[in-house]
Amino acid sequence: MQTRNLIGGEWVGADSGREIQVRNPATDEVVAMAPDCGAEETRRAIESAAQALPGWSRQTAGDRGRVLRRLADAMLRDQERLARLMTLEQGKPLGEARGEIAYAASFIDWAAEEGKRLYGEVVPSSSPGKRILTLRQPVGVTAAITPWNFPAAMITRKLGPALACGCTMVVKPAEQTPLSAIALGELALEAGLPAGCFNIVTGDAKAIGGEIFRHPAVRKVSFTGSTEVGKILMKMASENVTRLSLELGGHAPFIVFEDADLDAAVEGALATKFRNAGQTCICANRIYVHAGVKEEFVRRLSGAMEGLKVGPGDAEGVRVGPLIDDDAMRKVRAHVEDAQGRGARVVCGGRPVDLGSGFAKRFYAPTLLDGFTDEMLVSREETFGPVAPVRSFETEEEVVRMANDSPFGLAAYFYTRDASRLMRVAEALDYGIVGANDALPSTAQAPFGGVKQSGFGREGGRQGMQEYTTVKYVSWGI
Ligand code: NAP
């Protein structure tokens, strides 16, 4: 499959003619080629976005919303095709890919409506001869740099609000997953989005990123990816004082109190830990279970994990697909070996799964490690794989302290039936998102984002829209 980039409404290749290979993570086969673009193509994309800006931002929110709704509808119409494309390039089970397309469309659909509610204010003045008005205006040309783990949703979570607010955008998808982005571009044109409002550039991350931060027309960059790259971009943003949102890595604690509904907690742990083979920024990385129920929890969770079928994402019944690449596999193996070497017990899994010839060696068995400790790699770094480390705790105070002992602060989860504890612990957890008796908190209406080294800025909800507006204050002498 040959693909092109979208610049100024035209489908184009790289100036050099060079291409990057897109591989199926399950088989390592090359399934498509995408343009290997750099700074020059990015400059043209930014300039197309700048040209399209006045026309798009002048449209009414209702007119913009109609285009966005057509895009969301087209995504749902083509859900099966888009899901299959996503599984091909990313590896996740088809059922999850279908879910991601619906979830990705929900950001576009929700922003289409919310764009109509970007209210300003008339503020009571301290002087009889003045009136004070605040206006919410589009930021301008924006750029998005996105990761491979949610190839569609990490784009639409930025694109929907940006377009709804009247901004235009240049998107640089991850090298491994350009196909979902390109398919979104095709549907956006079909939906009637004017040329230049949404541009897609694939290729050399450093060259594309360098141009995004160098070009003065770019007024805001939204990045989702690793904390390591986020820190580099933060330095680059200082050049033009470019506004930033950073959705970075996480290290989620998952706490099960002694009064929890254990079945719900097991179901929640399974959902948050093994979705996308554990390759999500909000998946549980450290599971703390009260000593009084730990044995029972481990028994039920390992029992439930036995039923998780490992295999290629397009095979029937598969719940855990391949890891994205060989580096990811090495990291998972290193984390499990390190934990074992330091005394953790492998309750189940703890080994790669060999699917035989024709398949890449990137499948890892769902693994439960009992007795993780602070010095283990699993306690400090994102494993980004299907590994669930568990340990026990005695008191609420102790577990909140352990949960907060991390440089990351994206998502945290806990299960309890005590309403007072629910509020107390939700307030005490130093995280941007708290799932209280809920392992799947992300939704278009809610402000997703982190604290500490998990970044800043919010995506989704009213707050996610405001990221794409600037408040202007008009002091009006009368
Ligand atoms: P990554 O390596 O940081 O890459 C993310 C994006 O940044 C890719 O498009 C990548 O391009 C690009 N990039 C890399 N170096 C760059 C540079 N010097 N200048 C400009 N762009 C650059 O992250 P990843 O491995 O794709 O994704 C996994 C990470 O994302 C995990 O840490 C995960 O927790 C985090 N994540 C966070 C959230 C959230 O909402 N907080 C959501 C999903 C994922 P190439 O692909 O071309 O290298």
**Would residue 430 count as lying in a domain?**
yes
CATH label of the domain that carries residue 424: 3.40.309.10
Q: What is the pLDDT of residues 364-414, one digit of tens each?
A: 999 999 999 999 999 999 999 999 999 999 999 999 999 999 999 999 999
pLDDT on residue 94: 98
Evaluate the CA torsion angle 331, 333, 336, 338 in order and state its sign.
Answer: negative
Indicate whether residue 472 lines ligand 1 (CB < 6 A): no
pLDDT on residue 392: 98
Indicate whether residue 224 lines ligand 1 (CB < 6 A): yes
Strands annotated E in 53-154: 121-123, 130-138, 141-145
The answer to whether residues 239 and 266 belong to one domain is no
Report the distance separating Cα 365 and Cα 127, nearest Å: 69
The answer to whether residues 70 and 200 belong to one domain is yes
H/E segment holding residue 12: strand 10-12
The phi-psi region of residue 444 (left if phi > 0; otherwise alpha if psi is between -120 and 50; otherwise beta) is alpha
Using CA positions, which residue lies closest to atom 18 of ligand 1?
206
The answer to whether residues 202 and 299 belong to one domain is no
Q: Residue 138 — very low, low, confident or very high, per pLDDT cuts 50/70/90?
A: very high
The answer to whether residues 322 and 459 belong to one domain is no
**Would residue 448 count as lying in a domain?**
no
Q: What is the pLDDT of residues 440-477, one digit of tens each?
A: 999 999 999 999 999 999 999 999 999 999 999 999 99
Q: How far is the CA of 450 from the centre of ligand 1 (A)?
A: 15
pLDDT on residue 7: 98
**Would residue 449 count as lying in a domain?**
no
Q: How far is the CA of 4 from the centre of ligand 1 (A)?
A: 22
Q: How far is the CA of 212 from the centre of ligand 1 (A)?
A: 15
The answer to whether residues 189 and 277 belong to one domain is no
Using CA positions, which residue lies closest to atom 41 of ligand 1?
247
The answer to whether residues 232 and 296 belong to one domain is no
| 405-424 average pLDDT score | 98
Residue 281 annotated to the active site: yes
Q: How many domains does the chain divide into?
A: 2
**Would residue 350 count as lying in a domain?**
yes
Domain assignment of residue 88, given as a range: 5-248+454-477
Q: How far is the CA of 295 from the centre of ligand 1 (A)?
A: 37
Using CA positions, which residue lies closest to atom 22 of ligand 1?
205
**Would residue 169 count as lying in a domain?**
yes
The answer to whether residues 104 and 237 belong to one domain is yes
Indicate whether residue 222 lines ligand 1 (CB < 6 A): no
The answer to whether residues 126 and 225 belong to one domain is yes
pLDDT on residue 339: 98
Indicate whether residue 151 lines ligand 1 (CB < 6 A): no
Indicate whether residue 20 lines ligand 1 (CB < 6 A): no
The answer to whether residues 243 and 256 belong to one domain is no
